[in-house]
Chain A
Amino acid sequence: PHSPTPRKVPLNHGGARVRASLPRRGVREDARDVDSEGRPTARARARAGVRVRDGDERARVGARETRGDDRARGSASERGDAQGGGTERGASELERPGWESDKAEACAARVRDALTSAEVLGSDLSDLCIERGVFAWRLMLDVVVLDDDGAAADAALSAAVAALRDVVLPEATVKRGKIVIGDEEEGVDGADDGMRKGTPLNVRTTPVCLTTALYKEHLLVDPTHAEEALSECEVSVVLTEDGMIRGVFKNGGEVEATEDILMKCIAAARLQYAASAKVILDASEDDDY
């Protein structure tokens, strides 16, 4: 592939920032065609885990007791609290360590909105209910961006969905007004045989996000970090398997998005959906991952 030729090197005070143009021929820096679909594997690697807090002092895994009808219903209506903990970033040179950047918080909001709009756990989160009006599970979702090479929000959403598919809610019952996890009352400590006992979370949909960047009338699907810096605008589309749009996000940019551009971005997301969803499903089935 043709190697990119840098045109100018403008310097910001306090550092150098090399801006390179894209190669003049129709090839991107990672050898993908300019108009081709991006590969399904995300270059922005993210790892997500779901913690299900335990009210039991001994185990520290499991449910956290919540009381009150409002709370149980609250965890259904406050979907943001139930499904979106936060994201951490620090994986690119633009992030300062120790600071919760605005981009990280905006990314967390986008992941939360995508999960909520896609009704991943249902519209009322009733699967998290232990006892109606009294106890409910609370899910804390943490996403850690290990390496940001562009489209970090896409990878974050995929990782979040994969983590939710991996969740096993412990068996919990309510006895004498308290939550009992598993076989505690029978005094059976139970040897840890490595098997997680409980009910797998019922993940109803698989939302996938695809970001498309616009650069000189070319649509770049799944842009890299360098391409994001050069792009004139970016449009992110979230779809589910039923073809419904669960989110369209565009944060300004140098170029306005016409109806034609929006349709192309949505069409690109539809084309890419199957491959991206397969990655999530394969990760869920792979026990060694």
Chain B
Amino acid sequence: MSSLRPDGRSREMLRRQRLHRSRVPSASGSAEYRIDGTIVVAAVHGPLRIAPWREAHDRGVIDVELSAPGWMSRDDQRACEGRLRGAIERCVELRDFPRFGLRISARVVSDDGNAEAACVNAVCCALIDANVPMRGLICANACALTREGSMVIDPTKREETEARAVVRACALSKHREKDEIAIVGCSTTGALTEKEYLDAIAFIVDATAAVVNIQKKSIARYEVHGKLHEDEAPKKRQNTEDAPMEGMENRPLG
């Protein structure tokens, strides 16, 4: 019996992911991150001067604003902002710009599932675009537990709604002495056992490797070709706009 999902993916397959940097010209750095129907645009302004009463003498301050009108309730947006801020504070070298601040905004243009992960990934790419000093690349994903008990990575909106539980987590990509599973932030909805939760976390951490590839390729392309060539590249690819970028095609993990 086929175990494919309604959109034709296996349970370990990610959807097509696309990244376009420097989407907001006035920002210090920006990125548009697409996971099929989920589109998030993130912009980074700074480091810039902030109000004296908000300064921290030994580290920078991060302001995060998430806008998802029509896709998330106000409470959900604030909760997601908190997780986003926590993830960014972990990966950015805040001590490199004391008394300054970073203003980060993320807007969910369209939500077809896994929007929170798209926000984290978009913000990370925007930080790269802004040349903000970072400890590592932060990447996120989600895993849904179906009512039959199986786990599927990168769920669509429909899969999230029908799932018994959804686990969202983000991890920092950095060199590790030993192979360990460590997360920066997580949130869950629904009911699951401890084993299911830990398996879902491991599943998500494995999946973040694919996202890290996207971010690293984007960095490498900028370093080799320069920013001007990157701006021209999308025009050349107009005929094959739907073709995924190398390394981001829809293929199984591992």
Contacts and interface: CB of A to CB of B under 8 A. Distances in A.
Nearest to B182: A256
A14 interface: yes
Interface in B77-113: 78-79, 81-83, 85-90
Contact of B75 (A105, A244, A247, A252): A105
B141 to A, nearest CB: 15
Contacts of B56: 12
Q: Which of B75, B90, B165, B186 has the most CB of A within 10 A?
A: B75
Given A102-B78, A257-B183, A247 B188 contact: yes
Contacts of B8: none
B192 A244 contact: yes
A266 B189 CA distance: 16
Given A10-B57, A14-B52, A259 B79 contact: no
Contacts of B197: 245, 248, 262, 266
Contacts of B55: 12-13
Contacts of B184: 250, 252-253, 256-257
A108 interface: yes
Contacts of A102: 78, 81-82
A240 B192 CA distance: 11
B191 A11 contact: no
A250 B186 contact: yes
Interface string A1-15: 000000000111110
Contact of A258 (B74, B83, B182, B192): B182
A237 to B, nearest CB: 10
Contacts of A103: 82
B151 interface: no
Contacts of B239: none
A117 interface: yes
Q: Which of A10, A246, A250 has the most CB of B within 10 A?
A: A250
A86 B74 CA distance: 11
B75 A80 contact: yes
B233 interface: no
A121 B87 CA distance: 33
Nearest to B55: A13
B18 to A, nearest CB: 26
B246 interface: no
B204 interface: no
Given A250-B183, A256-B184, A258-B181, A113 B189 contact: yes
Nearest to B188: A248
Interface string A260-289: 001100100000000000000000000000
A107 to B, nearest CB: 9
The dominant DSSP class at the A interface is mixed
A182 B215 CA distance: 63
Interface string B52-81: 110111100000000000000111101101
A254 interface: yes
Contacts of A243: 193
A82 to B, nearest CB: 13
A119 to B, nearest CB: 8
B44 interface: no
A47 to B, nearest CB: 20
Nearest to A260: B180
A106 B83 CA distance: 10
Nearest to A249: B187
B80 to A, nearest CB: 9
B91 to A, nearest CB: 9
Contacts of B202: 259
A252 B135 CA distance: 14
Interface in A93-135: 102-103, 105-106, 108-110, 112-113, 116-119
Nearest to B58: A10
A263 B194 contact: yes
A170 interface: no
Contact of A248 (B85, B86, B187): B187
A219 to B, nearest CB: 16
A14 B53 contact: yes
Nearest to A256: B182
B172 interface: yes
Interface centre among B90, B167, B171 (most CB of A within 10 A): B90
Nearest to A113: B189
Interface of B: 52-53, 55-58, 73-76, 78-79, 81-83, 85-90, 165, 167, 171-172, 180-194, 197-198, 201-202
Closest 7 CB pairs of A and B: A252-B86, A105-B78, A109-B75, A109-B79, A256-B182, A251-B86, A14-B53
Interface of A: 10-14, 80, 84, 86, 102-103, 105-106, 108-110, 112-113, 116-119, 240, 243-254, 256-259, 262-263, 266
